[in-house]
Chain A
């Protein structure tokens, strides 16, 4: 099988990338999804709040997905569901497997990776205790309840205050369960403030900062969990233990970009994001292989996933048509004080159309601050911010003209307190 472009993963990132590539003139595209349907994680996110930036209205996850799926169909873009991509390599060969075609090799001119991310599990955070039934990641519980129609428990404790945990606190409550507490290790939430309000405050669910689960009781089924306060080094403080009787523990303790395929292909991974290093066109360290969405870095808003995916789609189209410019000024992005990472990591100036959005996360909560953008040490732009927090991705929009330079150089962004 031969295609111009293979898109791996049919979530919002893959959908938007395929659509944008077609709009930019790419003919033979195939999108491959291992699940039985397109839409990715959005199909289980039945709550609203998606699409405010892209559509100017509040859509639910399935509605947001359906708009893109319809467009994919209108543009007659081929796709395969129930199909797993097993391997890709630097020669841009894609190995797939499904029940009808069996094992197949696809030759592609370009590949876009959009495999999304995975939830961290109990193993990743090491909670002591037995391994009884009743411990789920929040996303798994979400899929059980919203798609498969199974309830996961009656009395629930949630560890982690990321958006998925918060959304599930409300969902479980509405479905008749009692959510006893949401427990967060850090002194701040990694979820959006609006979710704390509408998911916890609305239902009087307590949120404990600087607390963690130190023990799980129960051999066959969870019978309860012990929670303790932690000190500045995140070590449990003796004497602060409280036991909660419950039958279910949900974990919402972070997401990790899913990059097995990328790693095996030899794509360089940035340790800060756990996703590939990418340039302004979302191209990875292997020419012609692009990446977008949660596989690159974990986004909190799907709108930004879509924007980033459109950039990947345009980049792949330009690459396929031989229009990408690879020799010219290169600007590398480096994190200054207070910044955890910046995506993209590399900008090839000549390939920028008129402007570029840089995505980043800060390392702490800062009130009334500035984000200073420096090109080779000189401030070229400064953005005032009332509040930045690690839970909410920041974006900075720069014009190509802001970046005018004749030499390779570095661009840094730092948080400055006012």
Chain B
């Protein structure tokens, strides 16, 4: 049985998780809620993160538009996604929630705007 220790990042509680892994069972201990359980399981199988960054904004007094991924992206791909986004340009007006880029680097996840700029 393999044993891992994580700090859950799903909320500010920061529970200390102990994840035990066998061939076909995964046990999570120390979590105080369901989200912590899911985080523990995912962290040993396929760790993912929400990505937040900015893209270039034209036609506004603001030079950058904040964006986020509309779902979680494999941890190992975050850097490439940010690099990709740093070259993308959008033009105001933009609404919060507008899709800025579909299916980023084939992850199946969309990048959306996190603010409205008139």
Contact = CB atoms under 8 A, between A and B. Distances in A.
A218 interface: no
A249 B67 CA distance: 27
B42 interface: no
B96 A66 contact: yes
A60 B68 contact: yes
Nearest to B50: A48
B88 interface: no
A194 B63 contact: no
B14 A174 contact: no
Contacts of B116: 66
Contact of A193 (B7, B75, B79, B83): B7
A314 to B, nearest CB: 25
Contact of A62 (B12, B66, B86): B66
B52 A48 contact: yes
Contacts of B9: 194, 197-198
A203 B5 CA distance: 17
A241 interface: no
B114 A146 contact: no
Given A66-B96, A146-B66, A148-B64, A60 B14 contact: no
A379 interface: no
Contact of B52 (A52, A60, A65): A60
Interface in A312-346: none
Nearest to A47: B52
A185 B20 CA distance: 35
A63 B96 contact: yes
A184 B7 CA distance: 20
Most buried by B among A60, A145, A198, A301: A60
Interface string A32-51: 00001000000100111100
B64 A147 contact: yes
B53 A46 contact: yes
Contacts of B7: 193-194, 196-197
Interface string A196-216: 111000100000000000000
A36 B61 contact: yes
B111 interface: no
24 contacts: A43-B115, A46-B53, A46-B68, A47-B52, A52-B11, A52-B12, A60-B52, A60-B66, A60-B68, A62-B96, A62-B114, A66-B96, A66-B116, A145-B54, A146-B66, A147-B64, A148-B63, A149-B54, A149-B56, A192-B12, A193-B14, A202-B75, A300-B12, A392-B12
Given A48-B52, A146-B66, A194-B14, 6 more contacts: A46-B66, A52-B12, A63-B114, A146-B54, A149-B56, A202-B49
